[in-house]
Amino acid sequence: MKLLSPLGFLLESLSIPTVSLSRELHVDASLVSKWKSGKRQLKSNSIYFDSIVDFIIDESEKSNHQILSKSLSEMFPMDELDESDDLEPFVRTVLSKNEMLNTTIPNLTSDSMKHCIKVSSYEQNEGRRQAISKLLSFAEAMPSPGEIIFIDSDEYEWLLEEDDFAMKFCKRIRDLLNKGFKAKFVIHFYSYKKRLVKFFDKFNILVFHPNIKWYYHEYYDENALHFSQFIINKSISLLGVSTSQNSSTTMVFTDSSSIIKHWSMAESLISYSNELFINFETDRCREVVDYVSVIRKRGTVYSYLPSPAFVSTSSELIHEILTDNNVSDKNIERCIKLNSSMKNMVKSQYHGLYDVPERIVYLFHLEELVKRAHSSQFVSCSLSLMSEKTIKVSKLQYSRALRELVISLKKYDNLEIVLVSENDNVPLPALPEMNCWCKQNTWLIQMSKDGFRISDEVSIVNATSIALEKSIRMVPRNKRSKEYVIPLLMNLSDELENEFNEIF
């Protein structure tokens, strides 16, 4: 552990020799050494203070201020630095502090580094898992959340081949995201895309997480040499190199110059990649629904919901709910129009191409369905999002929504409702506030309290539909039958109606 004064910390970060500053100030090098070690305090009213600030800013320009920004980020929130084009005030604030700073950066190498670039390497997939684990440990030790970049050209084979590690990796990434970290994941996959389906099976909860931006870079020729990058907040960088013969090396970089170059390379690659999801404002929801409705391809429509989405119930029920919640006439009209668009989308599915009905499957969380029904206050996620305020639903209104489902279930042979229970051990994303609609081979729409997004990238769409279909088949056949579902929904509807009548 090495303690330095604020001046010493900045000089070390920028690799500025003591003698360089002493020559700039025309003072003895021993004075600069004392300032660095803290044996002598550099005060803001010193005749040298302004000259030192100017010298540090000038030296920082050699790296386009990226190294200085990275060093300052350890003491200031990233948002403050990102919003400012001038680092001088931050440098003045740091130099004015009368405290010693620890310059030991937690690193992944076995020896401390001086003035040379030191690289540790980890071999094969097992080594990459070790390096990634330590990378995540570094992120977990950071005092404030930052940004994560994962670019993998090996279809995450190192992650998929070890189930226990994959499960822990998923949890650790989720914990970091819940702390406020942001992440960018780039997926490279080949034409057969088998590993992408497997990846979705294991990490669908990350695919749908709002704090991750997903990108894909598709190619159909298997390259002999693959490069991968994994970076945490311009602080630690892993560079992976592998061949198609499953031989890989993962190198760890902790020097600022290399990391910043790697970060720039990663951002450049991301700029050439395609976004897996496109985010939309809520006022464009109807536009998106109308767009996907006119794309006519055969395929099952899956609706994955914790409970009925009230935005797709009858217009009369929606109007009543929104009126009870004092929603403006303008917003009510907007929700009714969206409801009409969603009905048209479902109607086209009921009749199908050339009047051949196509399958529609609603997947509900049984426990969530019951829990929300019996909660003292139920809030509709879809209506709240569309009306831009919290929308409460009464027990009687919830009861009517369930009865509408039963009517549709009896009317249409191609409509299925699957009640997924926790006891079924079905590997679906455990996001209770998420609504998801997926048209096989065509599109995927995700709606949550943060907004909604759409993907028409066929691989991720089909990976989603495959995962949902596999989950459906894991539910016992008798629990998927209409003979099982209809009485259960009707009983729940009756219970809600009785509870409502008891209150009023």
- 199-240 pLDDT, tens digit per residue, is 888 888 898 888 999 998 765 455 666 788 899 987 889 988
What is the arithmetic mean of pLDDT over 438-445? 86
User: Is the pLDDT at 390 greater than 50, yes or no?
Assistant: yes
User: What pLDDT is stored for residue 430 in this prediction?
Assistant: 53
User: What pLDDT is stored for residue 169 in this prediction?
Assistant: 96
Q: Please tell me the distance from the alpha carbon of residue 29 to that of residue 25, in angstroms, as a whole number.
A: 10
User: Is the pLDDT at 191 greater than 70, yes or no?
Assistant: no
Q: Per residue in 372-389, pLDDT tens?
A: 777 777 888 778 877 878
CA angle 237, 243, 248 (to 5 degrees): 45
User: What pLDDT is stored for residue 131 in this prediction?
Assistant: 93
User: What pLDDT is stored for residue 113 in this prediction?
Assistant: 44
User: What pLDDT is stored for residue 478 in this prediction?
Assistant: 82
Q: Please tell me the distance from the alpha carbon of residue 140 to that of residue 371, in angstroms, as a whole number.
A: 34
By DSSP bridging, strand 443-448 and strand 451-455 are antiparallel
Q: What percent of the chain has pLDDT over 90?
A: 16
Kindly report the CATH class assigned to 121-276: alpha beta
Give the DSSP letter string of 44-106: TTSTTHHHHHHHHHHHHGGGTTHHHHHHHTTTS-HHHHHT-S--HHHHHHHHH--S-EE----
- From the list 100, 81, 87, 84, the residue with the least C-alpha distance to 40 is 100
Q: Which of 106-110, 148-152, 173-177 has the lowest mean pLDDT?
A: 106-110
Residues of the chain with CATH 3.30.870.10: 121-276
Q: Which long-range contacts (CB under 8 A, 24 or more apart) does 240-243 make?
A: 240/128, 240/152, 240/153, 240/154, 242/153, 242/154
User: What pLDDT is stored for residue 114 in this prediction?
Assistant: 46
Burial zone of 483 (CB within 10 Å; 0-12 exposed, 13-18 middle, 19+ buried): exposed
User: Is the pLDDT at 391 greater than 90, yes or no?
Assistant: no
CA angle 240, 134, 117 (to 5 degrees): 60
Q: Which of 38-52, 95-109, 320-334, 350-364 has the lowest mean pLDDT?
A: 95-109
Q: In the numeric block, which tokens belong to residue 251?
A: 């190198």
Instruction: Please name every residue paired with 378 in a beta bridge, in sequence order, or none if there are none.
Output: 393
What is the arithmetic mean of pLDDT over 411-428? 82
Q: Please tell me the distance from the alpha carbon of residue 240 to that of residue 122, in angstroms, as a whole number.
A: 9
Q: Please tell me the distance from the alpha carbon of residue 122 to that of residue 60, in angstroms, as a whole number.
A: 33
More confident residue, 243 or 322: 322
What is the arithmetic mean of pLDDT over 129-140? 93
Q: How far is C-alpha 105 from the geometric centre of its chain's CA atoms?
A: 27
- From the list 146, 294, 320, the residue with the least C-alpha distance to 233 is 146
Helix (H) and strand (E) counts in the chain: 21, 19
